[in-house]
Amino acid sequence: MEIDAAKCVGCGNCVPFCTMGAIRVENDVAVVNEDECVECSTCYRCCGPEGLRATFVRGLRRLFRALHLRYDAPLDVCPTGALVPPELKWPRSLRRAFSDPTVTHDSTGMAGRGTEEIKTNDITGRIGPGEAGIVIDLGRPGTGVFFRDIDTMTRALAQLDVFFEPQNPLTHLMNDPQNGSLRKDIANEKVLSAIIELKIKLADLPEVLHLVEKTATALDTVISVGVSTKCDPEGGIPHESICSGAGYPLSLNGKTNLGLGRPVEGMS
């Protein structure tokens, strides 16, 4: 995000809206830490321009200060419209693609993190009996994640017998899904979060989960992991006992998606 220093009056309204804590006010002007900014545009969307002239606002504040009063703009506006979403070039444009939920990923045609994950498996049938779908969610507001850390995880996973989901924007950024390496030119770009998706044999689940846990210790971010399998004919969850046996009891907060559509042929 860019801030027009000539317009900014340093009111600080945009500061608490920043998902990465990347905005600070110095000498009555807001400044963005460009390394930390993930171009999510939350500050811009939350602080609509009020359309006042900077000279007017500064004069008003000076007058009020002299009278021992105080003028503050409403909290959800940028009084002078000083926040300016910039034109982004590659590879910085990836920050916005992954971090601004209003932007659609070119690679998958989906907004947000660019994937339906495995939530729609009843319709897509990507994960079949005897298989497990895994999502590894890296980054969160306040921490974000660099692609170099995602690359560390994808390359580690590629050493096992895994299949990276093709309809996922991270898979599209791989040089070669066989070795899991991401493009080198994006390594130092940071995004709010991103999801690695893969399919494995159900029997390999403990090995994959242990590898994810071990690899995560080297990453400068937080991760959460989701596992998904098709229920068996009795309604049981095939991965439940496997995860518990491997030392990862399922969270009570897990999601269960029930028959959102017609099962694809052969998947019932």
Nearer to ligand SF4, 122 or 149 (CB): 149
Q: Is 13 in the site for ligand SF4 (CB under 6 A)?
A: yes
Q: Is 42 in the site for ligand SF4 (CB under 6 A)?
A: yes
Q: Which amino acid is at 150?
A: I
Q: What is the nearest approach in angstroms of ligand SF4 to the Cβ of residue 203?
A: 42
Q: Is 173 in the site for ligand SF4 (CB under 6 A)?
A: no
| 47-76 positions binding ligand SF4, by CB under 6 A | 47
Nearer to ligand SF4, 47 or 135 (CB): 47
Nearer to ligand SF4, 79 or 226 (CB): 79
Q: Cβ(83)–Cβ(44) under 8 Å? A: yes
For residue 208, the number of C-alpha atoms closer than 13 Å in the C-beta half-sphere is: 28
State the DSSP string of 159-210.
TSS-EE-SSSHHHHTEEETTTTEEPGGGTT-EES-EEEEEEEEGGGHHHHHH
3-state secondary structure string, 107-134? CCCCECCCCCCCCCHHHHCCCCCCEEEE
Nearer to ligand SF4, 59 or 263 (CB): 59
Largest CA distance in the chain: 78
The piece of 32-40, 178-186, 204-212, 254-262 that touches ligand SF4 (CB under 6 A) is 32-40
Among 2, 61, 63, 79, binds ligand SF4 (CB under 6 A): 79
State the DSSP string of 215-251.
HHTT-SS-EEEEEE-PPPTTS--HHHHHHHHTT-PPP
Among 18, 136, 150, 158, binds ligand SF4 (CB under 6 A): 18
Omega cis (within 30) before 233:
no
Token digits of residue 163: 């299949």
Instruction: Write each residue from 174 to 203 as x if it is in contact with ligand SF4 (CB under 6 A), else as -, in one continuous string.
Output: ------------------------------
Nearer to ligand SF4, 82 or 138 (CB): 82
For residue 252, the number of C-alpha atoms closer than 13 Å in the C-beta half-sphere is: 0
Residues that bind ligand SF4 (CB under 6 A): 1, 3, 8-14, 17-20, 22-23, 25, 30, 32, 37-43, 47, 78-80, 82-83
